[in-house]
A and B are shown apart, each in its own frame.
Chain A
Amino acid sequence: MTAPAAPAPPGSVEHRVRLLREMVRIRRFEERCVELYSAASIRGFMHLYIGEEAVAVGVMAALEADDAIVATYREHGHALARGVPASLIMAEMFGKVEGTSRGRGGSMHLFDAGRRFYGGNAIVAGGIPVAGGLALADKMLGRPGVTACFFGEGAVAEGEFHETMNLASLWDLPVLFCCENNLYAMGTALARSEAETDLAAKASAYQMPAWAVDGMDVEAVADAARRAVLHIRAGGGPVFLELRTYRFRAHSMYDPERYRDKEEVARWREQDPIPAYAARLTADGALGEGDLAALEAEAEAEVDEAIAFAEAGTLEPLDDLTRFVTSEEVAP
């Protein structure tokens, strides 16, 4: 199936600069996370989104406050782009009670119910059925919401992906399936794990619009997501986007990267979405001299504040260990 017709792109200078700013924020946040991990302020598994920022930023730009998001364990970027305060994310990674999840989740489990940000799921494909259910609730309650469900290309091999794709199409559920194809499921290359490597073709079998997008181009992602959301909100049922991207860093902080060579990484780095987009905005006159430096300084200051907040945070009292295993108040 082919992509639905494109609506007029926003294209305003303000909108375009916002896309760049969001990518810069995420990049700077995560670069500092690496330092903090080395300093042992952050522990556990930490998965960086560096190189993939255009995907989350582009998709989030197409969503409204009523829409829901289900993300994976590589979700710092999604949380930041959704508006979850950097300070709360950082505090979570420091294991502080002021964090998004009171320090119970860490890097892989960021949540923000108020922003309809439903995690932060560390079981590959485990969030996909939940996204189907969030969409089912919106549909049954007559709400206009779309649920954006992010997962890597590795999830496409899981049964939960296929079961939910079928269910969502069968029931016309308002789900935007965002497959972040960064070519490696941890260390397993797509061609080594999938008989059919054309993921949009695979998704098309479930009778939904599906197409591939340059995930290194934030405007291409935003445009595709906007068209997809328009289709879904109009009652057209789910859409699948294959967002072709690349992770510049290791899978996690424990990954020696034996499965890919440095030349490949270097080639992809030439397509780094941030400098590429900054150059385009500069060429278009949307970005003036010193504007990028100013965005970077803003991001730096935001991360500094987040780190200060996290450092000043407190540890949850041990007496609270068993709180929230079950709800504390019975709903009416």
Chain B
Amino acid sequence: MKTTYREALREAIRDAMARDDRVFLMGEDVGAYGGCFAVSLGLLEEFGPERIRDTPLSESAFVGAGIGAALGGMRPIVEVMTVNFSLLALDQILNNAATLLHMSGGQLNVPVVIRMTTGAGRQLAAQHSHSLEGWYAHIPGLRVVAPATLEDARGMLWTALEDPDPVLVFEHGTLYNLEGELADDAGPVDLDRAAVRRAGDDLTIVTYGGTLGTSLDAAEALAAEGISAEVIDLRTLRPLDWPTVLESVARTHRAVVVDEGWRTGSLSAEVAATVTEETFYELDAPVARVCSAEVPMPYAKHLEEAALPQVPDVVAAARQVVGASGG
């Protein structure tokens, strides 16, 4: 069937609500408004205000309430409008959700799912556009996932809800209108493995979320030049599926990491470092990275585009690692 990323997310919520009475959605404007990005449109009418719960603008209180409700036996889906707003709830996410199980000696697991929008590309400037999922991927005790396809938008939520521990779901803001075909029987997907979205032999492009499309477009352009790029979608940012990444790089001998986060101290740095540590003697070129410019995201379209990883940037990085092979 033809669907969108937004509709796939909505269908995942609807499916989870139907499967398990303990599941409920709460967040700012998820009910009467239909969700800031219209993900939950119509769900209030279908499930009522107890289970599609509008909250005050109190990120810390309602994320913390999600954590408490999870401890109390519910399976909350908490929606935070954007990753920038999630910083108001960082205390709850780090000091409670991620920490309680270990700090209580294994007594208190926190089965909460926290969804939020991430990323730029919509001219929303520096307080609605950052890609901070890499920060969250730094934290032991969290699982961090980034659906980049319709299948994952549809399938990651239920698996996340079945996880006994906290899962953060990062939905890239430019993906909501993504259209495509989804199998009628599409359902839960695994959260453990990265996915090879395009097979190739000459280099491995490692990416996730909003830059998967950029990377696939770059791979297409590279193919026209006779360069065969493999594209890996990490899907889960913590814990990372190293075997899939390392097997690919060991085979292609070259890697480009594409990450919309800032370069310094980033997820891309983690991938580049581990690839270098683990496949150093297989590499024919230094690992390259394509990241956002180290600036707060600007509003003006030309500046925002310049700040973000673009197809030509990925193509150039790929040419560089291939050219640097001495072949």
A: residues with CB less than 8 A from B are 68, 99-105, 109, 111-113, 118-121, 123, 126-138, 140-141, 147, 159-160, 163-164, 166-167, 170, 323-331
User: Do the beta carbons of A132 and B92 come within 8 Å of each other?
Assistant: no
| B residues 68-112 in Cβ contact with A at 8 Å | 68-74, 76, 91-92, 95-96, 100-109, 111
Nearest-neighbour CB distance to chain A for B33, whole angstroms, equals: 17
Name the B residues within 8 Å of A120 (CB-CB): 103-104
Question: B265 contacts the other chain (Cβ, under 8 Å)?
Answer: no
**Can you list 14 pairs linking A and B with CB atoms under 8 Å apart?**
A113-B108, A123-B91, A126-B95, A130-B71, A133-B65, A133-B69, A133-B71, A135-B68, A137-B70, A141-B74, A166-B58, A324-B101, A325-B140, A329-B164
Which residues of B lie under 8 Å from residue A99 when comparing CB positions? 105
Extra A-B contacts (17), CB below 8 Å, given A100-B104, A105-B105, A123-B95: A68-B72, A100-B105, A105-B104, A118-B68, A127-B96, A130-B92, A133-B68, A134-B69, A135-B68, A136-B69, A138-B72, A141-B73, A160-B60, A164-B58, A167-B58, A324-B106, A326-B101
Separation in Å of the A191 CB from the closest CB of chain B? 26
A166: chain B residues at CB < 8 Å are: 56, 58, 61
B74 touches A111 (CB 8 A): no
Residue of A nearest to B60 (CB): A160
Name the A residues within 8 Å of B69 (CB-CB). Answer: 133-134, 136-137, 140
Closest chain A CB from B314 CB (angstroms) = 33
| Residue of B50, B64, B72, B143 with highest tally of chain A CB at under 10 A | B72
Determine whether B27 belongs to the interface, using a CB cutoff of 8 Å to chain A: no
Give Cα distance in the complex from A53 to B208, angstroms: 54
Are A133's CB and B91's CB within 8 A?
no
> Residues of A contacting B162 with CB < 8 Å?
330-331
Cβ contact within 8 Å between B55 and A167: yes
- B176 within 8 A of partner (CB): no
Residues from chain B with a CB closer than 8 A to the CB of A329 are 164
Q: How far is the CB of A38 from chain B (nearest CB, A)?
A: 26
| A136 to B64 Cα, complex, angstroms | 11
Task: Contact check, A101 vs B63: say whether CB atoms are below 8 A apart.
Answer: no
Q: Is the CB of B103 within 8 A of A104?
A: yes
A113 to B101 CA separation, bound complex (whole angstroms):
11
Measured between beta carbons, the chain B residues less than 8 angstroms from A135 are: 68, 72
- Distance A111 CA – B76 CA, assembled complex (angstroms): 22
**A165 CB to closest chain B CB, in angstroms?**
9
**Contact between chains at B71 and A134 (CB < 8 Å):** yes
* Chain B residues in 8 Å Cβ range of A327: 101, 106, 109, 164-165
